[in-house]
Structure 1
Amino acid sequence: MSTRDVVIAGERLTLHPERAVFWHAQGTLLVSDVHFGKGAVFRRAGIAVPSGDTEDDLQRLDALFDELAPRRLVILGDLVHGAATERSAWVDDVRAWRQRHAAVEMVLVAGNHDRHFDVASLGISVQPDRLAAPPFVLSHHPHPHKEGYVLAGHVHPGTVVRDGWRKHRLPAFVFDRDVGMLPAFGTLTGLHEITALPGRQVFAATPAGVIPTR
């Protein structure tokens, strides 16, 4: 899978097809909207979805760590999907995964779903609003901020890529003048198709790599 480098606010960022961003200068891996435990929430509600989504996402994070060797992981909101107890299998899985990567600093910029669970109990620091990381402001909600260029999640942006007569709806990285949005990292997350705007850069995360679409 091929990555793609972009320069945002004067900093080199690598867009990874596994729906992550690597900030080279700070050794920081950025992901958003992981939604651990979403499958369990659906199954409790009687919605039939396959199990194993949390394990799959942890394996994808492991692969990113092996490839990029980040010193820090910042999650731009919605690390978890909903309420859980200590008996929830995914909680044990995430806690064990965190312990395996004890040397990596991990910070969650809390999103709207994170209020349902004590993420700090997983060994991950929680920033309640936004995180200043000049020249960036790391946030969950994609609203401009006077202190820097905002990198955020929340929207689950997607785009349509055409391959001849076929259309593929794919996760997307989106960069506007003051705000950039990451695609949702989690396996069971949906897509919100974004619209074309003047000056907007859109990159699709395809199985083969990251490609510009507009």
Structure 2
Amino acid sequence: MTITIRDEELILAKERAIYLPQQELLAISDLHLGKAAHFRKAGLQVPSTLAQGDLERLSILLERFQPKTLLINGDMFHHDVNTDVDDFGRWKLQYSNLNFILVKGNHDKLDEKQYQNLGIKIHDPSYCTSSFCFIHDAVKCKEENLYPISGHIHPGVAVFGKAKQSLKFPCFYFGNDYAVMPAFSVFTGLSLVKPKANEQVYAITPTKVVKV
């Protein structure tokens, strides 16, 4: 779905990403690489294919939009370096011409040299364009003239049917004061949002993005 915010076109992809054609920038949030491996290390039987599936979905987006920049809006890595992070390093080798930017989130605690070795440029606390401030937690944005686009809370929305049954979907939330991106990782929960007047929510269904 294509929408316009601050006179700039944004494409909302069902793979849980935003593409900014004017900036040639693809933005995702809350990738949480390494979360599954972290849980497995703690003895929980979490499938090792979760992170691989997220990276495959990201490859589909990169092929579709051909961006110059990939921006991860916080929580790229869930914990310390582990096998999932190693898999990312190998996956990244095929995108040598792509500019990787990370806006640091609360889970991004790797050593600065580790980010450098992976070819990732760090922006802390935000990355700004002429219209938007990409920041992991919107309440920390100090750019008064820009519209914050954040992550962090893993927004979701409940959609109700005629028989009062409901389904919950991840969503894009565009409020009066800031926006929140969905978590890119499928290995996350949902925090249900309740939009106020003039605020917009776009649910991410298995087949498309729909306004609710």
Q: Report the TM-score range of the alignment, normalised by the length of the smaller protein.
A: over 0.9
Q: Which residue of 2 aligns with 1:102?
A: 96
2:36, 2:96 → 1: CA distance? 26
Q: Is the 8 A contact 1:161 1:169 kept in 2?
A: yes
Q: CA deviation at 1:116?
A: 4.2
1:119, 1:47 → 2: CA distance? 27
Task: Give the counterpart of 1:136 among 124, 132, 135.
Answer: 132
Q: CA deviation at 1:89?
A: 2.1
Structure 1 position 175 matched with structure 2 position 174: yes
What is the RMSD computed on CA atoms of the aligned residues? 1.3
Q: Which residue of 2 aligns with 1:204?
A: 203
2:175, 2:195 → 1: CA distance? 11
SS at match of 2:77: coil
Q: Is the 8 A contact 2:173 2:179 kept in 1?
A: yes
Q: In the TM superposition, what whole-angstrom CA distance separates every residue of 1:155-194 from its partner, at most 9, and x where no partner exists?
A: 1000012244332111000001221110000120111001
1:164, 1:74 → 2: CA distance? 39
Percent pairwise identity: 34
Q: CA deviation at 1:93?
A: 1.3
Q: Which residue of 2 aligns with 1:72?
A: 69
1:196, 1:132 → 2: CA distance? 25
Q: Which residue of 2 aligns with 1:41?
A: 38
Residues paired across the two proteins, number: 207
> What one-letter code is carried by the residue in structure 2 that aligns with 1:195?
K
1:176, 1:130 → 2: CA distance? 19
Q: Which residue of 1 aligns with 2:54?
A: 57
The TM-score with structure 1 as length reference comes to: 0.92
SS at match of 1:177: coil
Q: Is the 8 A contact 2:175 2:195 kept in 1?
A: no
1:163, 1:125 → 2: CA distance? 44
SS at match of 1:113: coil
The TM-score with structure 2 as length reference comes to: 0.93
Q: CA deviation at 1:48?
A: 2.1
1:163, 1:18 → 2: CA distance? 24
Structure 1, unaligned runs of 5 or more: none
Structure 2, unaligned runs of 5 or more: none
Q: Is the 8 A contact 2:77 2:85 kept in 1?
A: no
